[in-house]
Structure 1
Amino acid sequence: MTASSLEHASVPADADEVTLLIARQVEPGYEAAFERWAKGILDSASRFPGHLGYGLFRSSGDGAPWFLVHRFRDAEACRAWQESPERAAWFAHCEGHRHTEVARRTLTGMETWFAKPGSTRPAPPRWKMAISATLAIYPITLLGSYVLVPHLTVLPLALGSAVLACVYNVLMTYVAMPTVSRLLRGWLSDQSGRRP
């Protein structure tokens, strides 16, 4: 599956962030019309306050759906878009594009770290996400304690803590969590251990 348009926010998911993952089935021969419509609605949503980024993933073929992804600052920003006249107008003028929504997922907080674009598979149980996050952050904090902290003692406490938070945040988002979620993919996707 290829991404025809993908914009990522410069900040990682936090506890309030909401990601919408929408799968739409497009009838053969109407792909170009749908892509124009999808890019238009995504662009319209991107101008809303609290919208953090979007993605459009083309079908991989053989009847596979297209995927639209929206990221919002929080549930209120997501709801404002969902209930907006602008969104309603796009859906009021989508005849002729021959597409139907076939699945939708709403992800919040840590779930966005474990969501695979183009998949509507449920997120892992929270206890598995907590263990994975702990495994990811442990080596970062250990390394930071030995490498960074001794050099930050000359800074005011608030500034030194801000530097640590920034470094840890970037390493968690772009290095540690992608690595851990890839190494533990089989265990994370095994739903047999889901707790009630």
Structure 2
Amino acid sequence: MPIRATALPPQPEHTTVPADDGEVTLLIARQVEEGYEEGFEEWAQGILRTAATFPGHLGYGLFRPAKRGAPWFLVHRFRDAEACRAWQESPERAEWFANCEGHRHTEIARRELTGMETWFAKPGTTRPAPPRWKMAITSGLAIFPISLTGNAVLGPRLEGLPMVASTAVYTVVFSVLMTYVAMPAMSRLLRRWLTD
């Protein structure tokens, strides 16, 4: 059944964290009118699946509100700013917004997180990332124990390997521990200080 095209609503002011040349996480909050949740969820899943077909799209998520009347959150991850821009400016995305009758929703916030900022973003909010000097201190506190333990444990076992191979092992181990263990722990431990 054809759907009548509707104009895009005015977009809210966007907050963009200064970019490193790396992955981009796009976090969008949308307010959905009561009674239109089912139609919105179907639309959101469709637009997220379409975005996932674009080169450089790394994954997505849809987060329902924790309580009645709270916003929904859509999350896209892209390889880089160029991949993110290709999706944002695509006719496919424009078509989804032109065909969104049957559910009422408004974008209320949007953030683009790049580089280290994604480690410090609190899920379910669009609060700005902490100052870079606080991120640097927190990252240093996370890196120190990993470096100390890694050198003590891996160092003796990697002595016979060529430098390129041993560096590759260190890189993989350190990246995994930083992303999944150290940074989540440090950002939780220092959450109050980071957001003051």
Identify whether the pair has TM-score above 0.5, normalized to the shorter chain: yes
The answer for the alignment partner of 2:173 in structure 1 is: 167
C-alpha displacement at 1:61, in angstroms?
2.1
Deviation readout 1:22-68 (Å, 9 max, x if unpaired): 00000011101100000110011011111111111001223110000
Query: Structure 2 counterpart of 1:183, which letter?
Result: L
Does the 8 Å contact 1:23/1:104 carry over to 2?
Answer: yes
Counterpart contact for 1:104–1:120, Cα < 8 Å: yes
Instruction: Quote the residue 1:35 is aligned against.
Output: 41
1:15–1:110 contact (8 Å) kept in structure 2: no
Name the structure 2 match of 1:184.
Answer: 190
Specify the alignment match of 2:12 in structure 1.
none
Structure 1 position 83 matched with structure 2 position 89: yes
What's the counterpart of residue 155 of structure 2?
149
Could you list the runs of 5+ residues in structure 1 that have no partner in the other structure? 1-13, 191-196
C-alpha separation in 2, matches of 1:76 and 1:138: 33
* TM-score, normalising length: structure 2: 0.88
Q: Which structure exhibits the higher relative contact order, with contacts defined as CA atoms closer than 8 Å and separated by 6 or more residues? A: 2
Tell me, in whole angstroms, the C-alpha distance in 2 between the residues paired with 1:71 and 1:114: 15
Q: 2:50 aligns with which of 41, 44, 51?
A: 44
Pairwise CA RMSD: 1.0
Pairing 1:130–2:136 present: yes
CA deviation after TM superposition for structure 1 residue 17, in Å = 1.1
TM-score w.r.t. structure 1 length?
Answer: 0.88
- SS in structure 1 opposite 2:111? strand
Cα separation, 2, equivalents of 1:97 and 1:62: 16
The 1-side partners of 2:187 and 2:172 are apart by 21
Partner of 1:135, secondary structure, is helix
- The percent identity for this pair of structures is 74
CA shift digits 1:4-26 (9 cap, x unpaired)? xxxxxxxxxx8511111100000
